[in-house]
Chains A and B, each alone.
Chain A
Amino acid sequence: MAGLPRFLAGRLIKAIVILFAIVVINFLLVHAAPGDPAMVMAGEAGAADPKFVEQLRQQFGLDRPLLEQLATYVSHVATGDLGFSYRQQQSVWDLLLARLPATLVLTLTAFVFALVVGIVLGTLAAVRAGSVSDSAITVLALLAYATPIYWVGLMLMLLFSVQLGWLPAFGYETVGGGLSGFARMIDIGEHLLLPALTLGMFYMAVYARMTRASILEVRDMDFVKTARAKGLSHGAVVVRHVLRNAILPVITVAGVQAGHLIGGSILIETVFAWPGLGRLAFEAVLQRDYQVLLGIFFISSVMVIVFNILTDLIYSLVDPRIDLAR
Chain B
Amino acid sequence: MNAVAVSSSSAPSPVTAFPNRQPLLDVRGLSIALPPSADRELAVDALTFTLNPNEILCVVGESGSGKSMTAHAVMGLLPVPSVRVAAGALLFKGNNVLTMSEPEQRALRGGRIAMVFQEPMTALNPLMRVGDQVEESLRIHTDLDRTARKARVIELFAQVGLPNPAELVRSYPFRLSGGQRQRVMIALALACEPDVLIADEPTTALDVTTQKQILDLIRSIQAERQMGVMFITHDFGVVAEIAHRVAVMRHGKLVEIGTADEVLNRPSHPYTRQLIASVPHAMGDRPPFTPSGEPLLLAEGLHKTFHVGGGLFKKGKEVTAGKNISLTIHPGETVGLVGESGSGKSTLGRSVMGLMKPDSGRLLYKGTDLLSLDRRAFRPFRREIQMVFQDPYASLNPRRMVGEIIAQGPIAFGEAPAQAMARASDLLAMVGLDASAAKRFPHEFSGGQRQRISIARALAMGPSLLIADEPVSALDVSVQAQVLALLDDIRHRLNLSMLFITHDLRVASRVCDTIAVMQRGSIVEMGPAAEVFGNPQHPYTQSLIDAIPGRGWEIPADLSHGEGVSA
Q: Give me the interface of A with B, judged by CB distance under 8 Å.
A: 6, 9-10, 14, 221-223, 225-233, 240-241, 244-245, 318-321, 323, 325-326
Which listed residue (A221, A223, A231) contacts B140, Cβ 8 A? A231
In whole angstroms, what is the CA distance A14 to B311 when docked? 13
Most chain A beta carbons < 10 A, residue from B77, B114, B123, B140: B123
**Measured between C-beta atoms, what is the minimum distance from A292 to chain B in Å?**
35
In whole angstroms, what is the CA distance A221 to B115 when docked? 16
Which residues of B, 92-139, contact A by the 8 Å Cβ criterion? 106-111, 114-115, 117, 119, 122-128, 133, 136-137
Which listed residue (B107, B124, B125, B172) contacts A231, Cβ 8 A? B107
With A222-B123, A230-B137 already in contact, the answer to whether A6 and B313 are too (CB < 8 A) is yes
Are B106 and A225 in contact (CB-based, < 8 A)? no
Are A227 and B127 in contact (CB-based, < 8 A)? no
In whole angstroms, what is the CA distance A226 to B186 when docked? 11
Could you mark each residue 68-100 of chain B with 1 if its beta carbon is under 8 Å from any beta carbon of chain A, else 0? Answer: 000000010100000000000000000000000
Determine the chain A residues whose CB is within 8 A of the CB of B172 once the complex forms.
320-321
In whole angstroms, what is the CA distance A323 to B308 when docked? 13
Smallest CB-CB separation from B109: which chain A residue? Answer: A231
Smallest CB-CB separation from B317: which chain A residue? Answer: A326
In whole angstroms, what is the CA distance A225 to B77 when docked? 7
Are B119 and A222 in contact (CB-based, < 8 A)? yes
In whole angstroms, what is the CA distance A321 to B129 when docked? 11
In whole angstroms, what is the CA distance A240 to B122 when docked? 16
Are A230 and B126 in contact (CB-based, < 8 A)? no
Pairs A–B under 8 Å by Cβ, sample size 13: A10-B312, A14-B312, A222-B117, A223-B125, A226-B117, A226-B185, A226-B188, A229-B75, A229-B114, A229-B117, A232-B110, A232-B136, A318-B127
Determine the chain A residues whose CB is within 8 A of the CB of B540 once the complex forms.
none
**Measured between C-beta atoms, what is the minimum distance from A214 to chain B in Å?**
13
In whole angstroms, what is the CA distance A229 to B188 when docked? 10
Are A321 and B115 in contact (CB-based, < 8 A)? no
Are A326 and B314 in contact (CB-based, < 8 A)? yes
Smallest CB-CB separation from B171: which chain A residue? Answer: A320
Determine the chain B residues whose CB is within 8 A of the CB of A223 once the complex forms.
122-126
**Measured between C-beta atoms, what is the minimum distance from B338 to chain A in Å?**
28
Which listed residue (B106, B110, B127, B185) contacts A320, Cβ 8 A? B127
Are A231 and B111 in contact (CB-based, < 8 A)? yes
Task: Indicate if B561 sits at the interface (CB-CB under 8 A).
Answer: no
Are B110 and A221 in contact (CB-based, < 8 A)? no
- Chain A contact residues, majority secondary structure: helix
With A320-B174, A326-B310, A326-B311 already in contact, the answer to whether A230 and B140 are too (CB < 8 A) is yes
Determine the chain B residues whose CB is within 8 A of the CB of A318 once the complex forms.
127
Are B313 and A230 in contact (CB-based, < 8 A)? no
Are A241 and B313 in contact (CB-based, < 8 A)? no
Which listed residue (B114, B123, B126, B188) contacts A245, Cβ 8 A? B126
Q: Give me the interface of B with A, judged by CB distance under 8 Å.
A: 75, 77, 106-111, 114-115, 117, 119, 122-128, 133, 136-137, 140-141, 172, 174, 185, 188, 309-314
**Measured between C-beta atoms, what is the minimum distance from A312 to chain B in Å?**
13
Are B110 and A231 in contact (CB-based, < 8 A)? yes
Are A226 and B126 in contact (CB-based, < 8 A)? no
**Measured between C-beta atoms, what is the minimum distance from B516 to chain A in Å?**
34
Are A226 and B125 in contact (CB-based, < 8 A)? yes
**Measured between C-beta atoms, what is the minimum distance from B256 to chain A in Å?**
29
Determine the chain B residues whose CB is within 8 A of the CB of A230 once the complex forms.
109-110, 136-137, 140, 188
**Measured between C-beta atoms, what is the minimum distance from B151 to chain A in Å?**
19
Are B115 and A229 in contact (CB-based, < 8 A)? yes
Smallest CB-CB separation from B311: which chain A residue? Answer: A326
Are B136 and A222 in contact (CB-based, < 8 A)? no
Determine the chain B residues whose CB is within 8 A of the CB of A245 once the complex forms.
125-127
**Measured between C-beta atoms, what is the minimum distance from B380 to chain A in Å?**
41
With A228-B77, A231-B109, A321-B172 already in contact, the answer to whether A221 and B127 are too (CB < 8 A) is no
Are B122 and A221 in contact (CB-based, < 8 A)? yes
Nearest first, the 5 closest Cβ-Cβ pairs linking A and B are: A231-B110, A230-B110, A222-B122, A231-B109, A320-B172
Determine the chain B residues whose CB is within 8 A of the CB of A10 once the complex forms.
312-313
Smallest CB-CB separation from B136: which chain A residue? Answer: A230
Are B174 and A231 in contact (CB-based, < 8 A)? no
Are B119 and A231 in contact (CB-based, < 8 A)? no
In whole angstroms, what is the CA distance A229 to B77 when docked? 7
**Measured between C-beta atoms, what is the minimum distance from B178 to chain A in Å?**
13
Which listed residue (A231, A240, A241, A323) contacts B106, Cβ 8 A? A231
Are A321 and B136 in contact (CB-based, < 8 A)? no
Are A231 and B122 in contact (CB-based, < 8 A)? no
Determine the chain B residues whose CB is within 8 A of the CB of A229 once the complex forms.
75, 77, 109-110, 114-115, 117
Which listed residue (A225, A240, A326) contacts B117, Cβ 8 A? A225
In whole angstroms, what is the CA distance A323 to B174 when docked? 12
Are B126 and A231 in contact (CB-based, < 8 A)? no
Are A231 and B137 in contact (CB-based, < 8 A)? yes
In whole angstroms, what is the CA distance A223 to B313 when docked? 35
Determine the chain A residues whose CB is within 8 A of the CB of B137 once the complex forms.
230-231
Q: Besides A223-B123, A226-B125, A326-B310, 19 other CB < 8 A contacts?
A: A6-B314, A14-B312, A225-B77, A225-B117, A226-B117, A227-B136, A229-B109, A229-B117, A230-B109, A230-B136, A231-B111, A244-B125, A245-B127, A319-B127, A320-B172, A321-B126, A321-B172, A321-B174, A326-B311
Are A241 and B125 in contact (CB-based, < 8 A)? yes
Determine the chain B residues whose CB is within 8 A of the CB of A221 once the complex forms.
122
Smallest CB-CB separation from A228: which chain B residue? Answer: B77
In whole angstroms, what is the CA distance A66 to B314 when docked? 40
Determine the chain A residues whose CB is within 8 A of the CB of B309 once the complex forms.
323, 326
Determine the chain A residues whose CB is within 8 A of the CB of B313 once the complex forms.
6, 9-10
**Measured between C-beta atoms, what is the minimum distance from A288 to chain B in Å?**
40
Are B125 and A227 in contact (CB-based, < 8 A)? yes
Determine the chain B residues whose CB is within 8 A of the CB of A225 once the complex forms.
77, 117, 123
Determine the chain A residues whose CB is within 8 A of the CB of B311 once the complex forms.
326
Determine the chain A residues whose CB is within 8 A of the CB of B115 once the complex forms.
229
**Measured between C-beta atoms, what is the minimum distance from B425 to chain A in Å?**
39
Determine the chain B residues whose CB is within 8 A of the CB of A320 once the complex forms.
126-127, 172, 174
In whole angstroms, what is the CA distance A188 to B136 when docked? 45
Most chain A beta carbons < 10 A, residue from B117, B127, B128, B188: B127
Smallest CB-CB separation from B103: which chain A residue? Answer: A233
Are B185 and A233 in contact (CB-based, < 8 A)? no
In whole angstroms, what is the CA distance A23 to B485 when docked? 68
**Measured between C-beta atoms, what is the minimum distance from B98 to chain A in Å?**
17
**Measured between C-beta atoms, what is the minimum distance from A241 to chain B in Å?**
5
Determine the chain A residues whose CB is within 8 A of the CB of B140 once the complex forms.
230-232
Determine the chain B residues whose CB is within 8 A of the CB of A323 once the complex forms.
309
In whole angstroms, what is the CA distance A325 to B313 when docked? 9
In whole angstroms, what is the CA distance A231 to B329 when docked? 55
Determine the chain A residues whose CB is within 8 A of the CB of B117 once the complex forms.
222, 225-226, 229
In whole angstroms, what is the CA distance A323 to B314 when docked? 12
**Measured between C-beta atoms, what is the minimum distance from A68 to chain B in Å?**
33
Determine the chain A residues whose CB is within 8 A of the CB of B126 once the complex forms.
223, 245, 319-321
In whole angstroms, what is the CA distance A240 to B125 when docked? 10
Determine the chain A residues whose CB is within 8 A of the CB of B119 once the complex forms.
222
In whole angstroms, what is the CA distance A244 to B310 when docked? 28
Determine the chain B residues whose CB is within 8 A of the CB of A222 once the complex forms.
117, 119, 122-123
**Measured between C-beta atoms, what is the minimum distance from B68 to chain A in Å?**
11
Smallest CB-CB separation from B72: which chain A residue? Answer: A225
